[in-house]
Amino acid sequence: MLYSMVKPKVVLHLGVHKTATTYVQSRLWNSLEELERNRVNYIGLNSLRKRLTSRLGDASFGKKDVFDALYPFLNCDRLILSDENILGGTNAPRYQAFYPWAKERFKKVLRGLEGCEVEVYVTLRSFPEYLISRYTESLRHFKFFTFEDYMSGIDAKNISWLPLLDDLLAAGCGKIFVNDFNYVVSGDEYIYRLIGKEVELNEASQGSRVRRSKVSNEAYEILKLYGSIYSDQSTRRLISMMDDHPQHTEATPFMPFTENQLFELNTKYKKELSVVKDDPRFNFIPG
């Protein structure tokens, strides 16, 4: 499909959600000039979602449409596509999977990139931290649910990252890099891997939109009461206001898991990381 002169390496940074993706995207966006000097293209998140991500669920949006959406950015050595929504959204988990439609959505992107060398980067996070952060993010976009209702579609005993990784393999990608969340936030090395080299990067933009915090227990109780009385739109505005205005009193972290559940979930996460590290189908970083 691609002409021989237009075959950049394409880096698909898929998240997952709540693994500092907005921070990474902000640093890339703020460093466009430096990236371009190194023949690296990065599509801003708003543009990528308009051109590609928001259309992946459309059955009529096919291989040629994906290629056409990305073609203007293929005049480079390396193209970075960073959007966790390629996998799906932060709405309530269903069908015993965090991202039940990830394989089909991802496969559609791969088909449109036929002829390019594709590298996929996936960051995993401990189950309790991920679920609490994902739930908090869902409150900003969807109808208010209590945490218990949000989790009602998935059995905690069956929570796992392995089905998602298997789906990415099944979609046809042979070069998948997997890492733990702590690696992303420990320095710039992860971003350099996405870029393919060390370059001078500008800092991320500041503000709640980039560094979104988890909800506090006090905020959760307020939202639970408010959401039972007022509209969904009004409730989303309230949490947006909470994001922009730090809590005056000392915050109590929202923690819906018991100590026993925390131990079991964190133990399972560590075991899954070991499984991925030992699986030759994946490239665990840092190696």
> What pLDDT, in 10s, does the model give residues 18-63?
999 999 999 999 999 999 999 999 999 999 999 999 999 999 999 9
User: Tell me, what's the pLDDT at 1?
Assistant: 46
* Residues 6+ away with beta carbon under 8 Å from 82: 13, 21, 24, 25, 28, 42, 45, 48, 194
> What pLDDT, in 10s, does the model give residues 180-217?
999 999 999 999 999 999 999 999 998 756 677 789 99
Q: What 3-state DSSP class applies to 121?
A: strand
Residue pair 272/166 in contact (Cβ under 8 Å)? The answer is no
Residue pair 18/125 in contact (Cβ under 8 Å)? The answer is yes
Q: What 3-state DSSP class applies to 254?
A: coil
Kindly report the CATH number that applies to the domain delimited by 9-127+159-211+267-284.
3.40.50
Give the tokens for residue 64.
């040629």
Q: What is the distance between the alpha carbons of residues 180 and 19, in angstroms, rounded to a whole number?
A: 9
Reply yes or no on whether the pLDDT at 68 is more than 90: yes
Please name which of 23, 10, 123 lies closest in space to residue 70, comparing C-alpha atoms.
Answer: 10
> What pLDDT, in 10s, does the model give residues 221-254?
999 999 999 999 999 999 999 988 889 999 999 9
Instruction: Name the residue with tokens 């505005």.
Output: 237
Cα three-residue angle 244-250-253, rounded to 5 degrees:
80
User: Tell me, what's the pLDDT at 206?
Assistant: 81
Residue pair 127/266 in contact (Cβ under 8 Å)? The answer is yes
Q: What is the distance between the alpha carbons of residues 251 and 218, in angstroms, rounded to a whole number?
A: 7
Residue 68: other Cβ atoms inside 10 A: 11
For residues 90-109, average pLDDT: 93
pTM: 0.94
Percentage of residues in the chain having pLDDT higher than 70: 97
Reply yes or no on whether the pLDDT at 12 is more than 90: yes
Beta bridge partners of 216: 253
Q: What is the distance between the alpha carbons of residues 149 and 153, in angstroms, rounded to a whole number?
A: 8
Going by pLDDT thresholds of 50, 70 and 90, the confidence category of residue 157 is confident
Q: What 3-state DSSP class applies to 56?
A: coil
Mean pLDDT, the chain, whole residue set: 94
For 284, phi then psi, to 5°, come to -85, 130
User: Within 13 Å of residue 178, how many CA atoms lie on the same side as its CB?
Assistant: 24
Please name which of 141, 126, 132, 135 lies closest in space to residue 209, comparing C-alpha atoms.
Answer: 141
